[in-house]
Amino acid sequence: MAGNSFGQLFKVTTFGESHGPALGAVVDGCPPGLELSEEDIQQALDRRKPGTNRYTTARREADQVEILSGVFEGKTTGTPIGLLIRNTDQRSQDYSDIKDSFRPGHADYTYQHKYGVRDYRGGGRSSARETAMRVAAGAIASKLLEQQGVRIIAGLTQMGNIKIEQVDWSTVRDNPLFCPDVDAVAPMQELIKQLLKDGDSVGARIRVEASGLPPGWGEPVFDRLDADLAKALMSINAAKAVSLGAGFDAVAQRGSEHRDEMTASGFCSNHAGGVLGGISSGQTVTADIAFKPTSSISLSGQTINRFGDEQAIVTKGRHDPCVGIRAVPIVEAMTALVLVDHWLRQRAQNADVKHSTPVITR
Amino acid sequence: MAGNSFGQLFKVTTFGESHGPALGAVVDGCPPGLELSEEDIQQALDRRKPGTNRYTTARREADQVEILSGVFEGKTTGTPIGLLIRNTDQRSQDYSDIKDSFRPGHADYTYQHKYGVRDYRGGGRSSARETAMRVAAGAIASKLLEQQGVRIIAGLTQMGNIKIEQVDWSTVRDNPLFCPDVDAVAPMQELIKQLLKDGDSVGARIRVEASGLPPGWGEPVFDRLDADLAKALMSINAAKAVSLGAGFDAVAQRGSEHRDEMTASGFCSNHAGGVLGGISSGQTVTADIAFKPTSSISLSGQTINRFGDEQAIVTKGRHDPCVGIRAVPIVEAMTALVLVDHWLRQRAQNADVKHSTPVITR
Amino acid sequence: MAGNSFGQLFKVTTFGESHGPALGAVVDGCPPGLELSEEDIQQALDRRKPGTNRYTTARREADQVEILSGVFEGKTTGTPIGLLIRNTDQRSQDYSDIKDSFRPGHADYTYQHKYGVRDYRGGGRSSARETAMRVAAGAIASKLLEQQGVRIIAGLTQMGNIKIEQVDWSTVRDNPLFCPDVDAVAPMQELIKQLLKDGDSVGARIRVEASGLPPGWGEPVFDRLDADLAKALMSINAAKAVSLGAGFDAVAQRGSEHRDEMTASGFCSNHAGGVLGGISSGQTVTADIAFKPTSSISLSGQTINRFGDEQAIVTKGRHDPCVGIRAVPIVEAMTALVLVDHWLRQRAQNADVKHSTPVITR
Amino acid sequence: MAGNSFGQLFKVTTFGESHGPALGAVVDGCPPGLELSEEDIQQALDRRKPGTNRYTTARREADQVEILSGVFEGKTTGTPIGLLIRNTDQRSQDYSDIKDSFRPGHADYTYQHKYGVRDYRGGGRSSARETAMRVAAGAIASKLLEQQGVRIIAGLTQMGNIKIEQVDWSTVRDNPLFCPDVDAVAPMQELIKQLLKDGDSVGARIRVEASGLPPGWGEPVFDRLDADLAKALMSINAAKAVSLGAGFDAVAQRGSEHRDEMTASGFCSNHAGGVLGGISSGQTVTADIAFKPTSSISLSGQTINRFGDEQAIVTKGRHDPCVGIRAVPIVEAMTALVLVDHWLRQRAQNADVKHSTPVITR
């Protein structure tokens, strides 16, 4: 059934295949009066754009977004915002090698079984190209959140076995790897070169942080802020794990260590990752996401075709040795979509809540 | 806004506070004709029930479920199934110590800020007591899935620093810790004794596996099977992380290692955890979940009250040194709710899909 | 699939069969801080209760509602409100006559075909008894709306061929027929006596008005205020038509007559029924609903049984000669559910809207 | 909040303003394998297109639809179908007369109050131009329904005071008024001429029938087939009333007359309009809808502007003297959207239902 929408009050619906005529999105529920231009969205798209640097896929797409509705005289009107990106670089490639074959690690086999038919060109709907529209919608969400004092930032904290030492957000936007540790950039670039030489790929770990949220966002018991974040982040192509705060490290912690004690000047630690009982605590929301290594590599792999015959396959085309790099702006976008939705939900039900409990400093 | 429902086609809505008159659930969308008795549900509830063994909380609740609707002459009718459990062991306890204070690691502070008011007795709605209804609803989902050949099993794979060596599902239901490694049970029990002595607690890691799914369940691009699992599992009290298949280990893997190659007799590995492109592949779905250590411990902690005053707090009452143990049946239940929903969704849209692609042996 | 919930932000889910153990509802999304007691709900239920007067069914149900959750120390907490009514007057009646037969005008035949099984006792889920929970939930919605200055009132404006001359709301709650024209009460009572003698029934027309709404409620283009009202009112048992404002009379009107012109002191007429473009205009929202005559009558009718055999059937039991009478409080409840949902929706998206356009006096 | 989507399993989301760059829709949930071309959709659009005949608005729009996704090699793939229509005839008209003024009978005043801002050009989002996308989506739904043996047809049964005598569907597609009574066409055309001369407009009544449904579609208790139809039809611009079967005439009927008795060869009548208890009975579903007279007329009307000043207004531009005519294909489209959604919902939950109850001949 319909599974291409995200959000309840700020609802994003995307459509489009990798090699079809266009990608698009509808953002329904954006409050009126927000100043919004195509340039606002384009900036976010450009960060994700393939071909931006030599470390990501060589496919060159203009990714020029067009706003089709919902904005009038430079401001949102409260009506749905239609967004469109034409696909321009669909090379008349020969897809006969994957038309009937299932590339290992890809969704070819599962799409075939689910639908009985699939647009095999470049992975069709299962391509990460779809995430361009998430970034576009996320740019609108981010603008709204900024007005609420919320800031979202993500970065690459691990590539293969290279883990960064320390997160320093100040430099994360200055390097092509979105890495928040300048010392790790050079070794990571070395690794990429090696992977390109090997025809192989590697996984990545991304950290995202959202600061400036007031306490109170998130809807127990199912639509918790952390649960919705988990879904949003796990819905990104190639994601294999999501954790909040201490994450899997919490398993070995004692309760006396993990519980974040409180003083009048703030929480003493943030093992929770900014969410308690599914509701934001006002601390920085912190999540980590694991991305698997790119499945499209030039090393031959064993597979079957759609008639059940075994065969070897090499994925041709232009691909990233580490998809995780380009996932950084997508992680930010999905985080923004979750937060803006919960901001509106909180406002709907609890707009009148007034009480004297002080908000402690983070 | 409304956040107490889970699922699209098999929709579960729960209500009830820890120390209110009752807990309840409505299961809307269960297909008709399923044989269902209170005993079916009771069996599942008994596995989760507090007071079942000395390693979990001493609160003694009969947790006797009553089916209020939707079942006639022993079979479901297709109309909503109302479920009720009366709370019986709400001791007339003195809650004055937490009425105005925020226990660290609990949702007291966030509920106060979200709603401006809270039922502080035993944590109110934020108590894990709510999960009894998830287990009840999950029992119905499990019965439906069994008829489809799907089997779900979960177990405790790590407690504190004690990791199990090998998963052996054959014994998991025979020990009070739901541990799938008999050799780990004794050391885990030792750890619990030590924690009880220390007045402290520890985290846990749980693995869940679902086998027998056909390829094709899951709805890209947002309502992916893995994304919905991530949400479902992260929505369980105390969950801090969710991973599928290789999870965070995928970060350090090479693409040539991670991608699960295929032969005519099946997949060569299962790093994906049974999901490709958000759709089940027919392999066993495998997920791991991290649970934080119980926040309710008898060691004094620093906190503030609702007027901003600093104070020390000791959580009284009956609590688990490791909440993760009782989370095992809840993990199974939430997994079942996700799968049954996606089974119905797949059936709605793709009931007519017929194709000749062979399903490979797992 | 799941079809037993109503509303997006103020979501009501009902369950229960006519002759099962209980009826229930969950109200999810009620803002916190509302003073709410069982008595508040009971008053609304008592207006709908069967057996209240000799003109409605003789089934005697206490219809005693119990609040199971979501209210603490007399106020709502923002968590879901569980409501329960035990069925007490399920006479050990012999239902063998309808077990395998399809009463004409009833849902017996359609339930059998939809589900393959049905709880035939008293109509099971298709019984109007389910509407008790709508009235209960509507009572909560009405309390919230009153705080917003919105008042909802409904009355019987036609029974069979007896149409009232003039709507006078001041007396509508003083007569057992909820008729807003005192002069029509006596002839209507005569008609009922005649129908009881004849063993027949008759239809009814109800008008509902909601005043005090600000302009701005309703979400184009599908979730318009009038569209949601149409669904809500048509979802009441026995409803056959819904109209807003001029309704079917608008067909014969000229545009110059229908369009409600405006002056600085207000609209010159209200043919629109208080909704323009799917959004409330600030005028009184006015709707009319047609209810069919009760299908359960003591005159023999022709039907078939579940094996396809033809037979004559007489519906035994205790029934209303005009179901429309008891529909009055249900119409008010459903109207309240629509309005409270749109109030919250408007607040979510447009809480910040500030503009200088004056609101004209109705 | 988000209100621009319709349907649960076959979900349609529309966007676009009357004078913006484009209109669009996303159809999410269409089963795979359906043969679909732009021509299929274009045919439906051409029936609704403005400027098709002299009786409807002179605005000339190519209304050329483009399929952007979800179709591959001539068949749907199960992924979302993106549809786009560029606006081409947005005359550089002077809208200064309505920029700050509220046309009576239009949504100008309510949009201004809801959003604080509005795209006033041609009514912006509130324009009936949006319904082009409903017709486009409805064309896909109709193709699916035809494969299930369901056929939908609508026609103009009343214009102003001219009521048709007899419905004869055989000729309805042969006349420009979509009138199912050839004898009424000439007088209706006379009326239109008179209205054009007068600068006035008139309302319309449309009947829609859906035949070929099996018994079992519709989800009690809220998402009844008739309730969802009422919402769908009332959500069309200018709709003021919706009725099923006997509709308001049911008020004056006796139960012995209204209830549709059954014999082995079928129902003896169809006062119910094909729906019992919210579920299709297998009889023809029959609904009537009232449309108000066009508000855009050239007769001067009294209104206020956005500063509260009184003024007279004449609506310039190209408009229909009877919007009801062009509503015919929209009514068919919305009916199709409801039915296809309920077909999928029925299949999800009740695909396995097997029983021996015979389906009676209509």
> What average pLDDT does this structure show over C229-233?
98
Residue of chain A with shortest Cα separation from B314: A256
Q: How confident is the model at residue B53 (pLDDT cuts 50, 70, 90)?
A: low
Backbone angles phi, psi at B247, to 5 degrees: 55, -135
What pLDDT does residue A50 have?
Answer: 58
Q: Tens of pLDDT along C292-313?
A: 999 989 999 999 999 999 999 9
Task: Judge whether residue B361 has pLDDT over 80.
Answer: no
Query: Searching chain B, which residue's CA lies closest to the CA of residue D147?
Result: B352
Nearest to B255 among A242, A295, A304 (CB): A295
Is the pLDDT at B54 greater than 60? The verdict is no
Q: Residue B29: pLDDT above 90?
A: yes
**What is the chain C residue with the closest CA to D103?**
C261
Are D344 and B349 in contact (CB < 8 Å)? yes
The answer to whether the CB atoms of A279 and B125 lie below 8 A apart is no
Q: Do A256 and B299 touch (CB under 8 A)?
A: yes
Q: What is the pLDDT of residues A30-83, one digit of tens each?
A: 999 999 999 999 999 998 775 555 555 556 678 899 999 999 999 999 999 999
Tell me the three state secondary structure of residue B153. Answer: strand
The pLDDT confidence band at residue A90, using thresholds 50, 70 and 90, is low
**pLDDT greater than 80 at residue A361:** no
In whole angstroms, how far apart are CA A34 and each of A28, A29, A140, B113, D14?
14, 12, 9, 27, 21
Which pLDDT does position B203 carry in this prediction? Answer: 98
- When the pLDDT of each residue in chain D is averaged and rounded to a whole number, the result is 93
Task: Classify strands B262-263 and B266-267 as parallel, antiparallel or unpaired.
Answer: antiparallel
pLDDT, position B56: 55
Distances (CA, A) of B61 to B52, B84, B95, B137, B264: 10, 13, 19, 18, 52
Q: Is B266 helix (H, G, I), strand (E, B) or coil?
A: strand
A207: helix, strand or coil: strand
Residue A278: DSSP 8-state:
T
Cis? peptide before C150, omega within 30° of 0? no
CB burial of B178-215 (b: ≥16 within 10 Å; e: otherwise) equals bbbbeebbeebbebbeebeebebbbbbbbbbbbbbbbb
In sequence order, the β-bridge partners of residue B11 are B28
Nearest one of B59, B51, D289, D40 to C248, comparing CA atoms: D289
Q: Would the CB atoms of B350 and D78 count as touching at under 8 Å?
A: yes
Contacts of B68 in chain C (CB under 8 A): 15-16, 20-22, 24, 84
Residues of D at the B interface, defined by Cβ within 8 angstroms:
8-9, 29, 31-33, 78-79, 220, 344-345, 347-353
Q: Can you give the pLDDT at residue D174?
A: 85
Please tell me the predicted confidence (pLDDT) of residue D44: 95
Dist. CA D129–CA D132, nearest whole Å? 6
Amino acid at C229: L
The CA distance from A112 to B353, in Å, is 10
d(CA B351, CA A164): 48
Residue labelled with tokens 């350090």:
B252
The string of pLDDT tens digits covering residues A265-315 is 999 999 999 999 999 999 999 999 999 999 989 999 999 999 999 999 987
Q: Which of D32, D348, D350 sits opposite B345 (nearest CB)?
A: D348
- Alpha carbon distance B245, B283 (integer Å): 11
Instruction: Determine whether the annotation assigns residue D277 to a binding site.
Output: yes
To the question of whether residue D316 is assigned a binding role by annotation, the answer is: no
Segment B99-114, tens digit of pLDDT:
999 999 999 999 999 9
CB within 8 Å: D72 and A17: yes
Instruction: List, for residues B204-236, the tens digit of each pLDDT value.
Output: 999 999 999 999 999 999 999 999 999 999 999
Of residues D81, D93, D11, the one with CA closest to residue D341: D11
- Whether the per-residue pLDDT at C54 is higher than 60: the answer is no
Closest CA to C117 of D278, D274, B72: B72
Phi/psi of residue A101, each to 5°?
-115, 155
pLDDT at A17 over 70: yes
Which positions in chain B touch D75 (Cβ < 8 Å)? none
Q: Which chains touch B (3 or more CB pairs under 8 A)?
A: A, C, D
Least Cα distance to A316 among A121, A56, A49 occurs for A121
Chain D residue nearest residue B11, CA to CA: D349
Residues of C in contact with A9 (CB under 8 A): 348-349
Structure-block tokens of residue A232: 């949003």
What DSSP assignment string belongs to D169-201?
GGGGGGSTT--S-HHHHHHHHHHHHHHHHHT--
- Degrees to nearest 5, angle at CA D335 with D331 and D338: 145
Distance CA C90, CA C96 (A): 15
List of residues 6+ apart from B338 with CB closer than 8 A: B7, B225, B228, B229, B232
Nearest to A224 among B104, B227, B235 (CB): B235
Q: Which stretches of chain D score pLDDT less than 50?
A: none
Percent of chain A residues past pLDDT 90, beyond the cut: 85
pLDDT at C61 over 80: no
Residue C287 is encoded by which pair of tokens?
């709707």
Per-residue confidence (pLDDT) for residue D98, from 0 to 100: 85
Asked if A4 contacts A17 with a C-beta cutoff of 8 angstroms, the reply is no
Nearest neighbour of A263 by CB, restricted to B240, B295, B302: B302
Helix segments in chain C, DSSP class H? 38-48, 96-99, 108-115, 131-147, 182-198, 225-234, 255-258, 323-350
The response to whether D259 counts as a known ligand-binding position is: no
- C303 Cβ neighbours under 8 A, 6+ residues apart: C101, C102, C103, C104, C310, C311, C312, C313, D261, D262
Yes or no, beta carbons of D293 and C254 under 8 Å apart: yes
Instruction: Determine the Cα–Cα distance for residues D334 and D12; give it in Å rounded to an integer.
Output: 11
In the three-class reduction of DSSP (H, G, I as helix; E, B as strand; rest coil), residue D166 is classed as coil
Instruction: Give Cα A235 to chain centroid, integer Å.
Output: 8
| DSSP conformational letter for C284 | P
Q: E strand or H helix at A155, and its extent? A: strand A151-159
Q: Which two tokens stand for residue B335?
A: 């997994």
Q: In whole angstroms, give the CA distance from residue B308 to residue A254.
A: 27
Which residue of chain B has the CA closest to C70? B16
Write the burial class of residue D293 (CB in 10 Å: 0-12 exposed, 13-18 middle, 19+ buried).
buried
Task: Decide if pLDDT at B350 tops 80.
Answer: yes
Task: Give the mean pLDDT of C318-338.
Answer: 93
The separation between the first and the last C-alpha atoms of chain D, rounded to the nearest angstrom, is 42
C-alpha to C-alpha distance for D341 and D360, rounded to whole angstroms: 24
Q: Which of B152-166, C57-71, D76-90 has the highest mean pLDDT?
A: B152-166
Chain-chain contact of C252 with D216 (C-beta, under 8 angstroms) = no
φ and ψ of A107, to 5 deg: -90, 10
Specify the pLDDT at position B354. 78
**Averaged pLDDT, B48-73:** 76
Evaluate if residue C191 carries a pLDDT over 90. Answer: yes
**Which residues on C lie below 8 Å from A33 (Cβ)?**
352-353
Q: What sign for the dihedral angle of Cα D209, D216, C138, C7?
A: negative
Assigned fold of A5-350: Chorismate synthase, AroC fold (3.60.150)
**Residues of D in Cβ contact (< 8 Å) with B143:** none
Q: What is the mean pLDDT of chain A?
A: 93
Q: Model confidence over A234-254: pLDDT tens digits?
A: 999 999 999 999 999 999 999
Measured between beta carbons, the chain B residues lying within 8 angstroms of C32 are: 115-117
CB D98 within 8 A of CB D312: no
* Interchain pair B4, C81: CB under 8 A: no
Helices (H) and strands (E) counted in chain B, each on its own, are 8, 18
Q: Name the token pair of B117.
A: 């008011």
- Residue B210 is encoded by which pair of tokens? 């679902």
Residues of C in contact with D179 (CB under 8 A): none
Cβ atoms of residues C299 and C200 within 8 Å: yes
Cβ-based neighbours of D232, under 8 Å, separated by 6 or more: C227, D6, D334, D335, D337, D338
